[in-house]
Amino acid sequence: MTQEQVIQWIHSTELFGSVLGLSSIRELLRRLGNPQKKLQIIHVAGTNGKGSVCTMLASVLTAQGYRTGLYTSPYIEEFRERICIDNEMISPSALAECGQLVKQACDEMRADGLSHPTEFELVTAIGLLYFEREKCDFVVLEVGLGGRLDATNVIDPPLLSVITMIDFDHVARLGNTLGEIAYEKCGIMKEGSRAVSAPNQPPEAEQVIRETASRLNIPLSFAASPSRISASFQKTEFVWNDGTYAVPLLGEYQACNAATALEAMGKLQKIGVAISKEAIVKGLSMVRHKARMELIRPNLMIDGGHNLSGITALCDFIRQRKENRKIIIVAGMLEDKDHRACGALLRQTADVLIATQTDSPRRLEAETFAQDTQADFCKQDPIEAVQFALQLAKPKDLIVACGSFTLAGPIRSEFLIK
């Protein structure tokens, strides 16, 4: 199989849906020789900040000289972004080779009368197989959905479990309260391991995190809150535990993500993983994270935040730096998100609001979003919507395209100044 055939095969399995549970991925990996059992894994779950924390951890470990695998989702522009080693995407030939092996195992399962693994299970298996074949020293593994029944939770007790900020999202599948959602996220915590949490968790979520660690008898620490945060359009600086740090990511919330990553690194140091202060500073300075308040042109920002807390963080950042500029927002969301509350906040923030839509099957139609938000304009095609915004904008104005990663990806590909 070629890379293109592997990706086409993976996407063709969407008809099997997204199934929470571990029996299928466990059987698939067994037939592949259980590559996950040969890896040292840092497992990361949470509602907000998972991707940023994973990227920071991987960047620091790479800066220290470790061969570091990073598994994240979703991808923004290219499928291979999801599986990286030392900031390099899996090569087309390696994706084809690992994909072929996973397909063979999958075909054997089907021949034996077993259920077909889901798309996410297939990608997870490819990633774990690739990391094992490439002899990674460490793997930073991001949960896809929830934690307890997520395919990534097929692993044995990891070196470290990390719980980022917990908030409402995917309530139909994870629960209607923060306690219920936290229970699912904390499913990655395992006896014989240790855990770290983001600072300032909601009390209901914090209680569940503490109770889970106590029940499993594992060491747990909560990151201290960062202080003296300074966020510009270039970087975010902050003080944490008497040290000053900076990340080239925008938004005050990135300081909390960095604090979580720093707490995790401290925990790794305590169990014998060598990580120098120099590697931490260098690794954080090298972090790159697409579509998280990312300026792809001097006057064009994209952001994949898709729930109320993500949209709130974006709008707070924009409002605090509005100065004398006009804010033009191009927004499109998925139908299963809290689009009415998010849309109302975007409407309050924007001087000009342009409603658009993604190409996702779960999209909210542009006309519906425009009506709900009383948008100034409606453009179904997101590329046309941004082009229209660029025509409206004066040089000092700021255009923000947001609402979904499926929206941010095509816009980044089209408008990024390289």
pLDDT in tens, 117-145: 999 999 999 999 999 999 999 999 999 98
State the Cα–Cα distance between residues 46 and 15, nearest whole angstrom: 27
State the Cα–Cα distance between residues 18 and 282, nearest whole angstrom: 38
How many Cα atoms sit within 13 Å of 355 on the Cβ side?
24
Query: Residue range 181-196: average pLDDT?
Result: 96
Query: Residue range 27-52: average pLDDT?
Result: 97
End-to-end CA distance of the chain: give it in Å, rounded: 32
Helix (H, G, I), strand (E, B) or coil at 417: coil
CA triplet 116, 122, 123: central angle to 5 degrees? 160
Residues, the chain, total? Answer: 418
CA triplet 333, 341, 74: central angle to 5 degrees? 35
How much helix, strand and coil, in percent to the nearest 5, is found in the chain? 45, 15, 35
How high is the pLDDT of residue 172?
A: 64
Q: What is the mean pLDDT of the chain?
A: 95
Closest to 331 (Cα-Cα) out of 289, 368, 290 = 368
State the Cα–Cα distance between residues 187 and 34, nearest whole angstrom: 21
pTM for the model:
0.94
Q: Each residue of 243-302: pLDDT tens digit?
A: 999 999 999 999 999 999 999 999 999 999 999 999 999 999 999 999 999 999 999 999
State phi, psi for 102 to the nearest 5 degrees. -65, -40
Handedness of CA 174, 175, 177, 182 (dihedral sign): negative
The torsion defined by the Cα of 92, 94, 97 and 102, in degrees rounded to 10, comes to -100
Tokens representing 320 are 């605090």
